[in-house]
Amino acid sequence: MTGRALAPMTVRIIYILFLMIQLLHVPACAAEKGNLHLQVVGQPEDRVLLEFQVEAGDLFYIDYVHSSDHTPVHDIFRMDEGGIVLIEEDFDWYGSGLESVSNAGARVSLSGNKTKVFLHRECPMFLLRVGRVAGHVITYKDRRIPLLSIAKGGDSVWIRLVKKEREE
């Protein structure tokens, strides 16, 4: 055989190996599905108070009453492989501690007395103090959990996204 005769055979072997690798990769990806978990973790004891099994791309929400303005706030988060992303914050008018147009890339929509801030603020996890007045509620799919039902007012909790190894 000459070097020219080997080239098509080599290409064919590489192609077959490529297909085999792709086929072998599919079950591995399927096995990883469902390994993301959204957790609310009490501090300082680092105890998991609430946990949802989630998928990348899913949304969750935190609703509360702004502590000084006493107006409702609705935060929308997306979960990605890299962590949690705040994508929208809705409120009646601007209050301290809320997202603003100074956030790089933020877009603000005003409609009547409603303000919507659209953004992409990545946070692997964030610390939240459970409000006595705020009435924080975390919602994932059809589950609405008041944070005061799992922690005391004034307690600090981490909201985080973790990857877990699947148990067989």
pLDDT in tens, the chain (168 residues): 454 455 655 555 554 544 444 444 333 333 345 699 999 999 999 999 999 999 999 999 999 998 777 889 999 999 998 899 999 998 886 555 555 545 566 777 777 777 788 888 888 899 999 999 899 999 999 999 999 999 999 999 999 999 987 665
Cα separations in angstroms, 124 against 61, 82, 128: 16, 7, 13
- Report domain extents, the chain: 1-32, 35-163
Residues with Cβ < 8 Å from 66, sequence gap 6 or more? 72, 73, 91, 95, 97, 98, 134
Cα separations in angstroms, 32 against 20, 56, 84, 124, 143: 19, 11, 18, 19, 24
Q: Residue 148 CB: number of other CB atoms within 10 A?
A: 16
